[in-house]
Amino acid sequence: MASPSPYIIGDALYKTAPHHESFAALWETKWKPLCAKGIYPFMFGSIKDFQPVVDSIVEKGLKPPYNWDEYAECFFPKALELTHIAEEAEAAGHTEKACEYYLRASAIYRIARFPAPRSPKQKHAWEAGKAVFYKGAALLEHPIREVLIPHHHRHPHEGATIPANLLVPPSASPSNPAPLVIIFTGLDGYRTELAVWQRPFLDRGIATLILEIPGTGDSPADPRDPTSPDRQLASILAFLGTRPDLDASRVVVWGFSTGGYYALRAAHTPAGRAGLLGCVSLGGGCHHMFDRAWLERADYMEYPFDLASTLAYKFGYTLEEFYTEGARFSLKGDGTLGNKCCRVLLVNGKLDEIFPIEDLYVALEEGGPKEVRVVPETKHMGEPMSFFYILQWIGKLVGSPIENPWEFLGGLPFVTKY
């Protein structure tokens, strides 16, 4: 008999969610309705593209533990088909159609490399997905383009640039600089999909910069070094000094999920305190997310795949190593939370099974006062109400009020025309 759960989620710690039985179960119990709506993790996706791929995976009987190369390969024929349609449309001058099909292909490649590009074919999916995403994004009404930010504060073994998406309102200028929201992506959602947030912010006069966290996507930061994100942030803020069309006095960081961990860290660093107006940690952990007792059960709860192993990979360790080394990253253990901070908003669902809600309370008990919203009866990130609170907080903070968050959120789901 298992000992009583030390976490607020109670006995859920010891239960296995039905979607872990097989990919078929994952699709039917968790992913299919999300895909039908074109929302995370199916941004820019269409269920009519995914259903044939799912049927082939189900026929193969894929289930945990997955062979990630075998899994990824199932998506490639459809991704290539969509890419071919996009290329033909672009050659014929049908820009709108080409844009849609490139982005739909990027969604297929995304799920192929999901939750992290750990195998050779998943790594190929990440590179191919980026290529078609940026082809499609370049054809949008307001093109989203990649910028390579010089990583001036890097250590010698770290990459020289920080790839990011940048979208600036057309009205921005040196005489009318735009406020900026910097989005820190999560464990599995990268800049190519969180791009869905950029147009709604632009429509409200707010610029966006989206980049990956250490150990994910194209982040050059050393995933094993707890201080590497501090250097990455310092380089980003230095880059903002070269952009007179961006208002360096109105910069907010919004971290999603694992990115919330890094947003909370950023708020307590010298660069963050000096250069950020505020930080939002949505669903981020800080201390108990590294508990061995939590990690040993994380693969069986809310996350669609093997959460603990994916986290270990992201931080640069094997799972067995991460059980002990993970504690090095505790923001309580290393004293980070005891430092002064800029304004901080903490938001999460009370029944989060990805990062324990206890971490929110740890953050409140350390260092300076913080603002908080716990969303009852919801799991990780407390969607959709969490977005409502965050958008209003950010808008007010940067001086560009977001009066109707629901209208803002209505612009996120991807609707196909073709």
User: Do 178 and 168 meet the contact criterion of CB atoms below 8 Å apart?
Assistant: yes
Distances (CA, A) of 120 to 126, 191, 218, 317, 384: 10, 21, 16, 18, 35
CATH of 18-140 given 3.20.20.70, 1.20.1440.110, 3.40.50.300, 3.50.50.60: 1.20.1440.110
Strand partners, 343: 278
Average pLDDT, the chain: 97
Strand partners, 167: 208
Helix axes 47-60, 76-91, angle to 10 degrees: 150
Give the integer Cα–Cα distance in Å for 195 and 311.
23
* Residues designated catalytic: 257, 352, 380
Mean pLDDT of 337-342: 96
CATH of the domain spanning 142-418: 3.40.50.1820
pLDDT value of position 178: 98
Of residues 276, 201, 177, 184, the one with CA closest to residue 234: 276
User: Do 175 and 150 meet the contact criterion of CB atoms below 8 Å apart?
Assistant: no
pLDDT value of position 5: 83
**pLDDT tens track for 77-129:** 999 999 999 999 999 999 999 999 999 999 999 999 999 999 999 999 999 99
Strand bridging mode 207-211 / 178-184: parallel
Which of the four pLDDT bands, split at 50, 70 and 90, describes residue 1?
very low
Q: Residue ranges per domain, the chain?
A: 18-140, 142-418
Residue 3 scores a pLDDT above 80: no
Which of the four pLDDT bands, split at 50, 70 and 90, describes residue 2?
low
SS (H, E, C) 126-195: HHHHHHHHHHHHCCCCCCCEEEEEECCCCCCCCCCEEEEEEECCCCCECCECEEEEEEECCCCCCCCCHH
Give the integer Cα–Cα distance in Å for 349 and 352.
5
**pLDDT tens track for 11-56:** 999 999 999 999 999 999 999 999 999 999 999 999 999 999 999 9
Question: Degrees (nearest 5) of the Cα angle 399, 284, 343?
Answer: 35
Strand bridging mode 343-349 / 278-282: parallel
Residue 4 scores a pLDDT above 80: no
Which of the four pLDDT bands, split at 50, 70 and 90, describes residue 165?
very high
Mean pLDDT of 120-142: 98
Does the fold of domain 142-418 match that of domain 18-140?
no
